[in-house]
């Protein structure tokens, strides 16, 4: 088995070399690209604020009731370890504030401190992983009106500002302890179900709240701020305060990272074309790689054309240092560990095919207005033997091949997940 993988790789490497592409170098580059694995796929965006509590709301919703969901911190960590063992490379953990370790005693969002996250930081440190962080502005009584940072009530806004301030400080401390900047991403669900009478005031309040939330200067080597826009959510179909234009303006004027979530635009609008535009004006990007099916459905990421286009844009930009890649999907209708593995491996495969592109040659064709050769080569590249390179990468990283990883998940399902009765 291993032998055939090595042989197939040797042949593939040779074929790529004939195109002027160094497959070995592509694998080295791939190994240097961390993906931020979202904790919330493990328990359907539940979190651990209150034992056994179902936390949804805020216009996001996981659907399905596949058995075996993580019910505790320990279970989630075990599941994450399992998923990570099936994904080649070293990655990051993307944590939401509602996954705090409160020792079983409720701590409200405006009271959280570093100590509630220290066990996660230690967990990441042991695995030599970086961490990213998210204040949680949903699933809370003070978000029940559908407004948080833009709420008309000043006291409610202040509560959420305080949450954000604390999260940034915690994020910075995570980044400091782990030796790699934490991206702390602000997403709020604020919006109206039906046609607003006033579109302006909530946006003015949001701008003011964000300025207060971000007022403290933090070391960018420890914490980077990102803001995430959205088009609509369940119950916020007509108007979202933090729209794309709002946050684009905010990120450019305040020099924040802009988070582009693949599911947060009109159904035919894609984020692959936005990367090069936005990068010209903001210090960095955070990508929420997701798969919208007709709407912001957060389906598990598959290896489709748009994923490959996003990966190509990331690689072609040459600004991997400024592009932070996270996953954002939650499917409760299939095995949750398999969901992580499928989505992450697909993203890595897409990045690999992008790294195996003869970028200079394609650019030269374009520079000579030889669009015939450009199109012919782009199509030819689709049938190049990148799967052999991918299998070799998995083998080298001690991770099961495409055909084998599911067996591992099945075994874990029998041994571990099926014993959880939630
Ligand atoms: C919601 C946003 C946001 C969330 C996570 C859980 O529409 O995409 O990123 O999915 O914060
Ligand atoms: Zn998102």
| Atom in ligand 1 nearest the alpha carbon of residue 228 | 9
Determine the distance separating the centroid of ligand 1 and the alpha carbon of 187, expressed in angstroms.
7
Asked if residue 367 belongs to a domain, the reply is: no
If pLDDT is split at 50, 70 and 90, which confidence band does 264 have? very high
Asked if residue 156 belongs to a domain, the reply is: yes
The finding on whether 240 has its CB within 6 A of some atom of ligand 1 is no
Residue owning the nearest CA to atom 2 of ligand 1: 187
Residue owning the nearest CA to atom 1 of ligand 1: 60
Determine the distance separating the centroid of ligand 1 and the alpha carbon of 233, expressed in angstroms.
10
Asked if residue 285 belongs to a domain, the reply is: yes
Asked if residue 351 belongs to a domain, the reply is: yes
Asked if residue 258 belongs to a domain, the reply is: yes
When pLDDT is averaged across residues 230-243 and rounded to a whole number, the result is: 95
Q: Residue 243's closest CA among 255, 254, 232, 252?
A: 232
| Atom in ligand 1 nearest the alpha carbon of residue 259 | 9
Determine the distance separating the centroid of ligand 2 and the alpha carbon of 330, expressed in angstroms.
11
When pLDDT is averaged across residues 59-70 and rounded to a whole number, the result is: 91
Q: At residue 421, does pLDDT exceed 80?
A: no
Report the percent of the chain where pLDDT is more than 70.
98
Which pLDDT score is estimated for 50?
87
The finding on whether 45 has its CB within 6 A of some atom of ligand 1 is yes
Domain span at residue 296 reads 34-356
If pLDDT is split at 50, 70 and 90, which confidence band does 53 have? low
The finding on whether 250 has its CB within 6 A of some atom of ligand 1 is no
Q: How many domains does the chain have?
A: 1
Asked if residue 1 belongs to a domain, the reply is: no
Active site residues: 187, 228, 230, 261, 264, 288, 296, 298, 328
Per-residue model confidence as pLDDT tens digits over 109-147: 999 999 999 999 999 999 999 999 999 999 999 999 999
Question: Buried b vs exposed e over 62-101: b needs ≥16 C-beta within 10 Å?
Answer: beeebebbbbebebbbbbbebbbebbbbbbbbbbbbbbbe
Which pLDDT score is estimated for 101?
98
Asked if residue 7 belongs to a domain, the reply is: no
Q: Which two tokens stand for residue 278?
A: 């936005």
Which pLDDT score is estimated for 54?
58
Residue owning the nearest CA to atom 10 of ligand 1: 328
Q: What share of the chain is helix, strand, coil (3-state, %, to 5)?
A: 45, 10, 40
Determine the distance separating the centroid of ligand 2 and the alpha carbon of 14, expressed in angstroms.
40
Give the list of residues 6+ apart from residue 127 with CB closer than 8 angstroms, or none: 84
Asked if residue 395 belongs to a domain, the reply is: no
If pLDDT is split at 50, 70 and 90, which confidence band does 56 have? low
Distance CA 325, CA 112 (A): 26
Give the list of residues 6+ apart from residue 32 with CB closer than 8 angstroms, or none: 320
Report the percent of the chain where pLDDT is more than 90.
96
- CATH code at position 329: 3.20.20.150
Rounded to 5°, angle at Cα 249 from 225 and 184? 10
| Atom in ligand 1 nearest the alpha carbon of residue 230 | 7
Q: At residue 422, does pLDDT exceed 60?
A: no
Q: Where are the alpha helices (DSSP H) in 255-385?
A: 275-279, 305-317, 336-355, 359-367, 371-382
What values do phi and psi take at 58, rounded to 5?
75, 25
What global pTM score does this model have? 0.97
């Amino acid at each position: 088995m291993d032998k055939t993988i090595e042989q197939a790789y040797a042949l593939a490497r040779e074929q790529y070399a004939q195109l002027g592409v160094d497959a070995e170098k592509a694998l080295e580059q791939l190994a240097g690209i961390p993906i931020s694995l979202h904790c919330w796929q493990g328990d359907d965006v539940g979190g651990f604020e209150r034992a056994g509590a179902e936390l949804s709301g805020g216009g996001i919703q996981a659907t399905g009731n596949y058995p075996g969901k993580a019910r505790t911190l320990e279970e989630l960590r075990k599941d994450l370890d399992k998923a990570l063992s099936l994904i080649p490379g070293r990655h990051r953990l993307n944590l939401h504030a509602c996954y705090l370790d409160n020792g079983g005693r409720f701590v409200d969002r405006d009271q959280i401190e570093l100590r509630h996250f220290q066990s996660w930081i230690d967990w990441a440190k042991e695995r030599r992983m970086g961490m990213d962080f998210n204040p949680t502005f949903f699933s809370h009584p003070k978000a029940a009106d559908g407004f948080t940072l833009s709420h008309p009530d000043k006291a409610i806004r202040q509560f959420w500002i305080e949450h954000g301030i604390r999260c940034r400080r915690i994020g910075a401390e995570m980044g400091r302890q782990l030796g790699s900047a934490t991206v702390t991403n602000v997403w709020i669900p604020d919006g109206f179900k039906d046609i607003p009478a006033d579109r302006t005031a909530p946006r003015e309040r949001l701008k003011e709240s964000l300025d207060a939330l971000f007022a403290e200067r933090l070391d960018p080597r420890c914490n980077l701020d990102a803001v995430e826009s959205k088009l609509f959510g369940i119950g916020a179909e007509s108007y979202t305060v933090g729209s794309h234009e709002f946050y684009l303006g905010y990120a450019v004027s305040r020099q924040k990272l802009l988070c582009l979530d693949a599911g947060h635009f009109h159904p035919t609008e894609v984020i692959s074309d936005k990367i090069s535009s936005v990068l010209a004006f903001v210090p960095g990007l955070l990508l929420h790689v997701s798969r919208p099916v007709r709407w912001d459905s957060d389906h598990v990421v598959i290896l489709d054309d748009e994923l490959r286009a996003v990966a190509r844009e990331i690689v072609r930009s040459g600004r991997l240092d400024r592009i932070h890649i996270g996953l954002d999907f939650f499917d409760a209708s299939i095995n949750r560990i398999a969901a992580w593995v499928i989505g992450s491996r697909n993203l890595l495969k897409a990045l690999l095919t992008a790294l195996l592109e003869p970028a200079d040659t394609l650019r030269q064709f374009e520079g000579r207005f030889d669009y015939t050769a450009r199109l012919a080569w782009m199509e030819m590249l689709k049938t190049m033997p990148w799967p052999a390179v991918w299998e070799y990468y998995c083998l080298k990283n001690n991770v099961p091949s495409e055909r084998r990883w599911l067996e591992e998940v099945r075994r874990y399902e029998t041994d571990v997940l099926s014993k959880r009765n939630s």
